[in-house]
Structure 1
Amino acid sequence: LDEIAEVSRVSRKEIGRTYRFISRELGLKLLPTSPIDYVPRFCSGLTLKGEVQSRAVEILRQAGERELTSGRGPTGVAAAAIYISSILGGERRTQREVAEVAGVTEVTIRNRYKELAEKLDIEIIL
């Protein structure tokens, strides 16, 4: 919604209200966005290779299986998985770089990456 609001110059609130109205009127059952949906775009924005993208998707699949993504913003979780994957893949990006591309704060990435690394037993050497 933020991206649509930015380019359309319509408030996020109004876009959300219209989105809910249209989906209700058309009887659409729309699924929530998955963090995996954001990985290709964020990796492209960070000029990361395919291996880093694949590893990030795998991290997110494991996180989803363990229900670590529930109640978390999909962009923040995707950004954290990419941050972890970039370190593991030798193409390290800073939390700030990832945060800028994903449109989240560095604190969000820090919190999510620590959760993912701990719960998925991923050892990260900074």
Structure 2
Amino acid sequence: MTTNKILCIDNFFLPAHDLQESRRFYAQTLGLNVHFDFSEKGLLAFRVGNDEAAIILKDSAKFPDAKPVVLLQVTDVQELYNNLTAQGVHFTKTPYRINTGWAAELQDPAGNVIGITDYK
């Protein structure tokens, strides 16, 4: 029996063809505050209200394969990866190390990308 759980939506990743134009749209048009600005690395995040989850824009010049991704926080990426793989789920990115823990990516039946991450 698995003890792994999906805890919450962690972040939303969206591609941005022009990061500065997107910055103006999210900040000025939508009125969102910048959560973090790593534009030099191709990442710009906006806080949505008091939610922990942010909208993170990925500069398509630096990430040409960027697609919309919903990132879910889980208790243990490796455990969930093993359980889902055993059920026949195909992962497009197997577990890999990130600054805050581990991540992996899969697709739902419609082809939408779902990322999973933990903070280990």
The TM tier, using the shorter chain, reads under 0.3
Q: Could you say which structure has the higher strand fraction?
A: 2
Which of structures 1 and 2 has the larger relative contact order (alpha carbons within 8 angstroms, sep 6+)?
A: 2
Query: What TM-score do the two structures reach when normalised by structure 2?
Result: 0.26
